[in-house]
Structure 1
């Protein structure tokens, strides 16, 4: 067990990245609006996430390069390389900068649920003190620039988040028979938007870049491929269980008119006391902080790969990228600015990017020149094809929703 715990890291960061405020809200609303009936969609989400992230991890360990580095190397024609890298750069860097405000705000909602709102006046603006505090925490953790330290911090936050949501799910005393029925797809068309939301918040484009880079930082030899795969599966399944726990809380609450996890926490208070609301708030805080750290980190890795930088976590250029994302997020969150146009652009770009990256990943992990004997097997190709079909559907829906 001690040896296994030493190998925890990249997979945990991936699960921490996808369980952000957006996932918490999507799972909460799915539970409130559709009861337990969409639990099967989370199984689909976990399956899809494991398939794509395993390919990214294998690519990172074998090539010792990130996904964007491999894209630069494999797209030989300058025009195609420029278009691909421009799309990736726009979607991940600008997209993550836009979403960072939401990540920080999610953590702030958790703090406000426990400690209340704290504001101060600055140049005729009401500035949220909690937004500055969360941003400072994210900045300080990233500034350390030590991968092993980052791992330990994330593992602690993920354990805290997992315990918070799972304990809340137990406290609300759900109906076990209804939970089991929720794993059987019934009347899919009724909750199709909920299904899209659940899969879309779990299968995240930037996680593919983040994971490939992180495994190349941690494991330098191919003999660790099995370890990386096992660690990934355990971490993502744990993340899926946390998502299910959040959905169960929403379903068991019996509430109407819930817009986010804080509303759910407040709604649970009269029935289950402060325990449920406290655990829900702590879980949301941990989810917000982890996402507010992983989003800037992923953006920095993408820029590093797109521009061909030979740098490490402590380099000035690398720090400048994630610092820009964090500072923009803090600015928008603290002043309650909703960067709608940026977010809409990010949604469209990510809607295009998810299937494109999934297809590229599928293509590159089938190349003998890149992975040799570690290229995809027939089973992996069939699974990958199914996930790519899901990615195309999600991407088209994302673009259609915005437009």
Structure 2
């Protein structure tokens, strides 16, 4: 009887590929509806002018996940527990609150997106059922599905189906990139770092970068590493996991969506003031034809479903780590927190405004809280009491560049919000930014004080 044989080299590669995963989960969340919409808005509003941000987002997103991966591998613990042990309970709570605010706002807006798109699809199905066109009822329905599915472990099937739809849309954008008439000269000019003139440029730029460099992605990395059981000995596959998912897969996704949007939408008369889900679907017209609208809506729907599941577990996960709960539905406290976040997301369907603009804003808001998380990661990775192998000069340089770029773009966004600071949302963004600046300064002062004490102690024992 014939038997199937593989070379030893093939077996190693097959095993290597099968073990990939933690950063691919982060990449899947990064390639969610907020990032897709931010890229579409960037291309429609400013043409190729923000191409430099798109390229930077893939590169710096990779750097951020690599540093978070190193911390997870070297400590073999969740980031909140590590912060509590080495920096203190106060800074652990600041990190938890930072993440909960960023993830919570994202939860509401993603639910609004899912509810609105579900209503558009339901209303367009022509079944004559008025409730199918009501986003509020869809929001309540999806919140219940989310709560029951996650608490009972049955939401994974919905996520798998949703990811298939997202994959189809991503493939359609990649195919469109080979069909649409991309202007090479204009695209090359877009690689020069420059903020587009006009209102909204800073928000959109912060949104694009925030899709890849987000506090949620950075903090969840240590937990996904633990779920896989990866340790320092898995550094090779962990590094490949980061590069293949963020730099390659997410980079291709971002470039394809942006270049197609920048090439097609301005020519079709779609701009910052007119873009919505129906007009944005014109970007897929070159390959999908008359089916472009339905394909785009289903892809956006799938992205919202899959991202919502991953985002829901973030606040309960960090809260459980801080309070010493088991991070599993076997722990009733964790299950209650999970259900509470899922049900609270229903309020997102009652938010006013177009979800296209809100999705960009939510990523920009998340970017404001990201420098604090980066400061914590860099501080821990340079403390020999925390990790056995501190950062190299190159790793620190990459981290500092990431911190600087994230801070500058977040600052540009906050300065733009200052112009409308009398509005409640803008006032909240400015207040949050001020709190994060104080947190970064306080963390730096705490770290410097601890290093001086340690040095004085060492000198005293000589």
TMscore range, shorter length: 0.7 to 0.9
Rounded to whole Å, the distance in 2 between the matches of 1:346 and 1:263 is 21
Q: State the 4+ residue runs in structure 1 displaced beyond 6 angstroms.
A: 345-349
Contiguous gaps of at least 5 residues in structure 1: none
Return closer, same or farther for 1:305/1:398 CA change in 2, 3 Å cut-off.
farther
Q: Following TM superposition, by how much is the alpha carbon of 1:127 offset from its aligned partner in structure 2, in angstroms?
A: 5.8
Query: Of 241, 256, 259, which aligns to 2:252?
Result: 241
- 1:201-259: CA deviation from partner (whole Å, max 9, x where unpaired): 32111111111111111124322122122112211131232222222332223232443
- 1:335-394: CA deviation from partner (whole Å, max 9, x where unpaired): 4467x9xx9x98898565311111110110122222213x31111111111011112223
Rounded to whole Å, the distance in 1 between the matches of 2:231 and 2:110 is 34
Residue 74 of structure 2 is matched in structure 1 by 62
Q: Following TM superposition, by how much is the alpha carbon of 1:137 offset from its aligned partner in structure 2, in angstroms?
A: 4.3
Residue 220 of structure 2 is matched in structure 1 by 210
What does residue range 194-273 of structure 1 map to in structure 2 within 5 Å?
194-236=204-246, 237-251=248-262, 252-253=264-265, 254-255=267-268, 256-257=270-271, 258-265=274-281, 273=289
- 1:149-189: CA deviation from partner (whole Å, max 9, x where unpaired): 95x97676445413313314524722245389348523713
Rounded to whole Å, the distance in 2 between the matches of 1:349 and 1:336 is 17
Residue 162 of structure 1 is matched in structure 2 by 167
Q: Following TM superposition, by how much is the alpha carbon of 1:286 offset from its aligned partner in structure 2, in angstroms?
A: 1.9
Residue 385 of structure 1 is matched in structure 2 by 400
Q: Following TM superposition, by how much is the alpha carbon of 1:92 offset from its aligned partner in structure 2, in angstroms?
A: 2.0
Rounded to whole Å, the distance in 1 between the matches of 2:63 and 2:173 is 30
Q: What secondary structure sits across from 1:279 in the alignment?
A: helix
User: Retained in 2: the 8 A contact 1:38–1:195?
Assistant: yes
Return closer, same or farther for 1:145/1:394 CA change in 2, 3 Å cut-off.
farther
Residue 27 of structure 1 is matched in structure 2 by 39
Q: Following TM superposition, by how much is the alpha carbon of 1:9 offset from its aligned partner in structure 2, in angstroms?
A: 2.2
Contiguous gaps of at least 5 residues in structure 2: 1-12, 418-425, 431-462
Higher relative contact order (CA 8 A, sep 6+): 1
Rounded to whole Å, the distance in 2 between the matches of 1:167 and 1:268 is 7
TM-score between the two structures when normalised by the length of structure 1: 0.83
Q: Following TM superposition, by how much is the alpha carbon of 1:42 offset from its aligned partner in structure 2, in angstroms?
A: 1.4
Residue 190 of structure 1 is matched in structure 2 by 196
Rounded to whole Å, the distance in 2 between the matches of 1:228 and 1:183 is 35
User: Retained in 1: the 8 A contact 2:54–2:255?
Assistant: yes
What does residue range 305-324 of structure 1 map to in structure 2 within 5 Å?
305-324=321-340
1:397 aligns with 2:421: no
In the alignment of these two chains, the number of paired residues is 389
Return closer, same or farther for 1:26/1:329 CA change in 2, 3 Å cut-off.
same
- 1:255-311: CA deviation from partner (whole Å, max 9, x where unpaired): 324433443116866995333223322221122112211222111121122223344
Rounded to whole Å, the distance in 1 between the matches of 2:77 and 2:345 is 28
RMSD: 3.6
Return closer, same or farther for 1:312/1:249 CA change in 2, 3 Å cut-off.
same
User: Retained in 2: the 8 A contact 1:351–1:399?
Assistant: no
User: Retained in 2: the 8 A contact 1:9–1:155?
Assistant: no
Residue 98 of structure 1 is matched in structure 2 by 105
Query: Of 120, 128, 142, which aligns to 2:136?
Result: 128
Residue 7 of structure 1 is matched in structure 2 by 19
Q: What secondary structure sits across from 1:259 in the alignment?
A: coil
- 1:16-65: CA deviation from partner (whole Å, max 9, x where unpaired): 22223221221111111222342332110111111111111121222221
- 1:74-129: CA deviation from partner (whole Å, max 9, x where unpaired): 114xxxx32x23332333224322321211222334434544367539xxxx6634
Query: Of 89, 92, 96, which aligns to 1:85?
Result: 92
Rounded to whole Å, the distance in 2 between the matches of 1:112 and 1:182 is 40
Rounded to whole Å, the distance in 2 between the matches of 1:94 and 1:40 is 28
Return closer, same or farther for 1:137/1:263 CA change in 2, 3 Å cut-off.
farther
User: Retained in 1: the 8 A contact 2:180–2:286?
Assistant: no
